[in-house]
Structure 1
Amino acid sequence: MLLFERLSDQSHMTELEKSIANYFLNVGHHLDKKSSRSIASELFVSPSTISRFCQLVGYSGFNQFKESYLKDLKYLDSHFQEINPNKPFSYQDKNMSIVNKLSGLYQETIRDTVELMHHDSLQKATQLLINKQTIIIGSAGDTLEMAETFKNRMLKIGKSVQVERRTDNLFYQASIAGQHSCFILISYSGEVDGILRTAKILKERKIPFFVLTSYGNNKLSDLSPLSLFLSTREKLVDNLGNFSSLLSVSFIFDALYANIFSHNFDYNYNKKISMVRDYEKKRRSNNPVIKDGY
């Protein structure tokens, strides 16, 4: 969850805390030049009140809060200035107008996802998947379909992937898995109870895993030794179809598969082509663009 979402959720705040939260929601980039003492003076409160508020929303103090605030603000300013990821089209749009707006949404989502990727994190995740004999993926909802596509691709280069559709069985898998296994856990919110329980047992048993989740603090990323962040622009419910978050999941799986494939390119290419040819013996086309050369 981004800091700005926590500042906006004021249902459990006192009137004083709401006034401080609203100050931070509106101050924007000007916070860079401010101290807790100067803010306290503006709001007619003590500096310790500002520190306690920062602790209330999950930080050790004002300096850590300020660093996270400016980092999140930079992220939010980076993309999606001309399109709303929650409502990329309206009732007035039809046909090609919708297509063009979705095209813009897809482009922004990919750019956003790439900017959230870090070389070292991607490399660690790739190496983990290469080294482990069994890969188990757990999630809840539509992201399982992206996991199935990843599973099918990996199978054709000789890697065993299991997609566990039940969170109870995912937990049991984590409870009995050995060091030859690794897990990928997916949760956009990072707050799904069944996924969190699995992450906890994996951490306790020291079974390697990483997560695909939203950018910002959440319980799942706090538990995980490694996180690959999804484009984090959609509301959990108030959107037209989870276009952006699902695309981001799909893109990260594509990136993982491509990096694994590239690690031993010639071997994986020959293995995939050989296996597919053995099965697709009657698959033919007269279209010269898609026709295979054998």
Structure 2
Amino acid sequence: MFSNEIIASFNELETSLYNYIIQYSDKVAYMRIRELANETHISTASILRFCRKLNCEGFSEFKVKLKMHVEENKKTIIKSSQHSVVEFFERTLKGDIEEKIKHAAHFITKADHVIFIGIGSSGILAEYGARYFSSLGKFSLYIKDPHFPIHSKLRNNSITIALSVSGENHFTVTHLNQLKQEGSKIISITNNKLSTIAKISDLNIPYYVTEEFYEEANITTQVPVVYILESIAREIHQLNQ
């Protein structure tokens, strides 16, 4: 509603009005124009000019948009960590995830090279996964850059493990598609088995937890991903023994 360009165009009076509206948005959304004028000591004519700058025909339309803006920006109630873990155990561990973990471990045991990819929090876990696999005897690499030169020997008989909550990250899809075309088998760990990344994978392990967002950040729990990665690594270790 209040873009950077619009805020930059405000004069001193309009900036003062903007600051009042932001501070008391819940209250302003139900005021009459005369009440707002009295509270801010700004004329109704100036308030109407302010509304027109926000592409509103009048004060009534401005209040409707303000109510929507307030609703969109209400603080998200973040679930407890116990709730997220219980949800994962109830939804996922009662299914066939253990079979998929064993299937993935057999896949990886036969591969000569293991490559992890992911972006954001998934990238951090991909790096952790590569380190954890290597610690248990299956040397693995985390590659962040899709243009990173990979020697043809590394692409032969390789497994790529892709991590993504949504399974739709454009960067990861592009990187994965490139590796798949170069002959790498794909294992993905996503929150949605119907996602693009899941569909182009040779094996997908979904974990089904409710996605959570705080403002614009995806804060969906990553506990299931850690569980799956460590379970696969331990299974590989057992197979190698």
RMSD: 2.8
SS of 2:188 mapped into structure 1: strand
Percent identical pairs in the alignment equals 16
Conservation of the 8 A alpha-carbon contact between 1:143 and 1:186: yes
CA distance in 2, matches of 1:116, 1:232: 13
| Aligned pair partner of 2:223 in 247, 258, 264 | 247
Q: How far is 1:116 from its partner? A: 5.0
Q: How many residues align?
A: 166
Where 2:142 maps in the other structure, the secondary structure is: strand
Q: Residue deviations 1:153-201, cap 9 Å, x none?
A: 32233221111123443xx549874223211011111111221122223
What does residue 182 of structure 1 align with?
159
Q: Unaligned 5+ residue runs, structure 2?
A: 1-75
Aligned letter for 1:223? I
- Spell out the pairing of 1:42-121 with structure 2 (5 A cutoff): 87-89=77-79, 101-115=80-94, 117-121=96-100
Determine whether 1:195 maps to 2:185. Answer: no
Q: 8 Å contact 2:162–2:189 — kept in the other structure?
A: yes
More divergent stretch after superposition (220-229 vs 173-182): 173-182
Distance in 2 (alpha carbons) for counterparts of 1:168 and 1:205? 13
Mapped partners of 1:173, 1:141: distance in 2: 22
Say if 1:176 and 1:213 are closer, same or farther in 2 by CA, change over 3 A: farther
Distance 1:243 1:196 in 2: 20
Cα 1:154–1:118 change in 2 (3 A) is closer
Once the two structures are overlaid, the 10-residue window that deviates more, 251-260 or 104-113, is 104-113
Mapped partners of 1:112, 1:141: distance in 2: 25
Does 2:203 align with 1:213? no
Question: What residue number does 1:260 align with?
Answer: 236
The 3-state SS of whatever aligns with 2:205 is strand
Q: Deviations over 1:134-166 (max 9, x none)?
A: 211000011233233333332233221111123
* Contact preservation (8 Å) 2:113, 2:155: no
Query: 3-state DSSP class of the match of 1:190?
Result: coil
Matched residue SS, 1:162? strand
CA deviation after TM superposition for structure 1 residue 238, in Å: 5.5
Q: Is the 8 A contact 1:189 1:236 kept in 2?
A: no
CA change 1:206–1:133 in 2 (3 A) is: closer
Cα distance in 1, alignment partners of residues 82 and 169 from structure 2: 30
> How far did residue 119 of structure 1 move?
4.6
